[in-house]
Amino acid sequence: MKEERKEGEILKILEEDARTSDSEIARMIGVDEEEVRSTISELEKQGIIIKYKALINYEKAGMKAVQALIELNLSPERSTGYDSVAERISKFSEVKSVRLVSGEYDLLVRVEGETMREVAYFVAEKIAPLEQVRNTVTHFLLKTYKENGEIYEEEEKGKRLAVTL
């Protein structure tokens, strides 16, 4: 199998289910287990596979986490553009994602906290006062329908017959 194609297949399988074992992956794509192992460790080394995490529906678990999307307008810096402020914001553990986007604002940041108050204070105290931040708009998340390609409440699936010839 071509190297690129093999990597692509492995990434696809792990993205779908990170707990798929090396031996299962080897079977699925028809190469030996050692080759899968070395390819994966290479992908990890290169930082292409960043981490293996579970996708958790905390609402369902009854553990209430509050999330908000924060739109930030920034003044870019002469030498580093948006990078240095974006990196700075990324370092807060409350911040779950940071993305530079086109359109009416510059950064879209997702913040998580235990209460709405905590999130609001965090934005007011840590983000808004940064010198390069011109203004912020906070949107609290009310309900998640789909995350990382997974629909949270799967639709009811029609039932197939057990036997069709």
Partner 1 sequence: MTLIADRVGQIKSSGIREFFDIAQRMEDAISLGVGEPDFVTPWSIREACIFSLEKGYTSYTSNWGLLELREMLSEKLHHDDSVYYDPEGELLITTGVSEAFDLALRAIINPGDEVIIHEPSYVSYKPCALFAGGIPVSIETEVGDEFKLRADRIEDKITEKTKAIVLNYPNNPTGATLTKKDLEQIADVANEHDLLVISDEIYGKLTYDGEHTCFSTLNGMKERTILLNGFSKAYAMTGWRIGYAAGNKDIIEAMMKIHQYTMLCTPITAQMAAVEALRCDDETAEMVYEYNRRRRLMVEGLRELGLSCFEPKGAFYTFPSIANTGLTSAEFAKRLLFEHKVVVIPGSVFGDCGEGFIRCSYAVSQYELKEALNRLGRFLVTCGVK
**Residues forming the site for partner 1 (CB under 8 A):** 9, 12-13, 17, 24, 27-30, 157-158, 160-165
- Among 96, 34, 106, 44, which Cα is nearest to 76's? 106
Find the shortest distance in angstroms from Cβ 163 to partner 1: 4
Amino acid occupying residue 81: G
Find the shortest distance in angstroms from Cβ 164 to partner 1: 4
- CA 161 to CA 70: how far, in whole Å? 48
Find the shortest distance in angstroms from Cβ 56 to partner 1: 19
Nearer to partner 1, 26 or 130 (CB): 26
Nearer to partner 1, 47 or 158 (CB): 158
Find the shortest distance in angstroms from Cβ 40 to partner 1: 16
- CA 111 to CA 68: how far, in whole Å? 5
Nearer to partner 1, 21 or 135 (CB): 21
Nearer to partner 1, 28 or 95 (CB): 28
Exposed, middle or buried, 24 (CB in 10 Å: 0-12/13-18/19+)?
middle
- Among 57, 49, 39, 55, which Cα is nearest to 14's? 49
